[in-house]
Amino acid sequence: MGTKTIEQLVEGGKASAAPPLGPALGPLGVNIGEVISEINKKTESFKGMQVPIKLTVDEESKEFEISVGLPPTSALLKAEAKIEKGSGNVITDKVADLRIEQIIKVAKMKEEGLLGMDMFARVREVLGSANSAGILVEGKPAREIISKVQESPLKEKIEAEKTELTEEELKELEAERVKLQAAIEKRKQAEEATAQKIMDSMSGKSRSDIKKALEEAGVSAAKIHELLPTKGAEEGAPGKPGEAQGAPK
């Protein structure tokens, strides 16, 4: 007899015997409660994140080994930024701000999973992921920092692989996160008011005309899609604001 291996994604510190993990463990003949407990111990530091785990079981002795992989780079960045999700519009909405030390920390954690041959290259990769999530770095769009990693003071911090922040720096980042979230909410409220004003003033107009007016007013594509759903719509057909033109009445 040999060994059997299963691989699963579990929520850090919250694995349970519910599907899909429980049914996968059953045929292996192991103590399911003991396995679940061990998984949760090993993944506790990744609370709130989906973590890949690999369980190897000796078919004869029923002894088992658990190895824990790392969450995706985006999940690690969100954990550092203390946010649940990235930006829905990375151009207008910045959801958090990180220091270069936190980028270095994620780059070190993901070292084996990144393509970069040195820390500078790995930091650039993580900065790219931060940019895609709408996360600022050192108060600037992450894409702007990518070209500055070889400049002081970033260069020295990356060379030293500095990852620690002071309590004061962490407090500053939290205050900045709150400020950014408030700015997003304010922008969304203003956009909603602008869009609704246009929709009300153009009641009965064609969808294409309303869409053009919304776009010219700077309303986001996501908001336009919400107000003018395309399903069942007939381009050019008039309708009421927020109603899919051509939809059954």
**pLDDT for 1:** 63
Q: Is the pLDDT of residue 68 over 50?
A: yes
Take residue 112 and report the two structure tokens written for it: 């084996």
Across 56-90, b (16+ Cβ under 10 Å) vs e yields: ebeeeeeebeeebebbbbbbbbbbbbebeebbeeb
Report pLDDT digits (tens) over 163-184.
999 999 999 999 999 999 999 9
pLDDT score of 152: 92
> Is the distance from CB of 98 to CB of 81 less than 8 angstroms?
yes
pLDDT in tens, 188-243: 999 999 999 999 999 889 999 999 999 999 888 888 888 888 754 444 444 444 44
pTM of the complete model beyond 0.75? no
Domains located in the chain, CATH noted = 3-68 (3.30.1550.10), 73-165 (1.10.10.250), 189-242 (no CATH)
Please check the confidence at residue 18 and state whether its pLDDT lies above 80. yes
Distance CA 183, CA 191 (A): 12
- For residue 185, give every residue at least 6 positions away whose Cβ sits within 8 Å of its Cβ, in sequence order, or none: none
Q: What is the pLDDT of residues 84-94, one digit of tens each?
A: 889 988 888 99
Span 105-162, pLDDT tens digits: 999 988 878 889 999 999 999 999 999 999 999 999 999 999 999 999 999 999 999 9
Q: Is the dihedral of CA 40, 46, 49, 51 positive or negative?
A: negative
